[in-house]
Amino acid sequence: MALPFACSPCLCRWGAKRLGAAAAEARRGVSFKLEEKTAHSSLALFKGDTGVKYGMVGLEPTQLALNVERFREWAVVLADTAVTSGRHYWEVTVKRSQQFRVGVADVDISRDSCIGVDGRSWVFAYAQRKWHSMLANEKAPIEGIGDPEKVGLLLKYEAQKLSLVDVSRVAVVHTLQTDFQGPVVPAFALWDGELLTHSGLEVPKGL
């Protein structure tokens, strides 16, 4: 008669650790970098293409490779990884910027447009020391969050929701009801200072 298999304590702990690591990996959101070929000529990427800084003069368009993916009129850059399902969370550190937008956009958003202006992007905008949500150039004021140093974004694709998160309190301060009809990508616009992205994060507990 075959003896029943007995799991040693060491092997059991190893298995539990592997399962825990796999579960944590499953909870991690999209991991992305900023895609240089989409960046307007006034923007420069840094820190391994995870950050973007604004330059009033920017690069001469003649110094940039011709690319139909590049934003031509507005200081916008998109991430390099699309989302088609799931719950995702990323954060943005704000440095010396008083006018910027963060959110998501359709992968094929017009490169002659700005995020928040048309109906294919969903963003949170900061300008004149005030926050607004933006969709199709319609603004709605956001209360309960002050001058930004770091903010979070929570995307729930199936639920069609994008939320702005106050990272200091780990609390949602505003949620946009979206209308995703295909893949979307994290999207950013700025007119001064720098933004540094932090992706591949777990969704914080309670959100």
SS (H, E, C) the chain: CCCCCCCCHHHHHHHHHHHHHHHHHHHECCCCCECHHHCCCCEEEECCCCEEEECCCCCCHHHCCCCCCCCCCCCEEEECCCECCCEEEEEEEEECCCEEEEEEEECCCCCCCCCCCCCCEEEEEEECCEEEEEECCEEEEECCCCCCCEEEEEEECCCCEEEEEECCCCEEEEEEECCCCCCEEEEEEECCCEEEEECCCECCCCC
**Residue 95: how many other CB atoms lie within 10 Å:** 12
Answer whether residue 194 is part of any domain: yes
Mean pLDDT, to the nearest integer, of 112-132? 95
Number of separate domains in the chain: 1
Q: What is the mean pLDDT of the chain?
A: 87
Answer whether residue 20 is part of any domain: no
Answer whether residue 163 is part of any domain: yes
Write down the pLDDT at residue 156.
Answer: 98
Answer whether residue 25 is part of any domain: no
CATH code of the domain covering residue 121 = 2.60.120.920
Distance spanning both ends of the chain, measured CA to CA: 52
pLDDT in tens, 145-188: 888 899 999 999 999 999 999 999 999 999 999 999 999 999 99
Q: What backbone torsions phi and psi does residue 99 show, to the nearest 5 degrees?
A: -155, 110
pLDDT higher at 27 or 76: 76
Which residue segment(s) compose the domain that 159 sits in? 36-201
* CB 121 within 8 Å of CB 132: no
pTM of the model: 0.85
pLDDT in tens, 73-107: 999 999 999 999 999 999 999 999 999 999 999 99
* CB 194 within 8 Å of CB 100: no
Rg (CA), the chain: 20
Answer whether residue 18 is part of any domain: no
Task: Report in angstroms the alpha-carbon separations of 188 from 10, 13, 42, 96, 184.
Answer: 47, 43, 13, 15, 13
Answer whether residue 27 is part of any domain: no
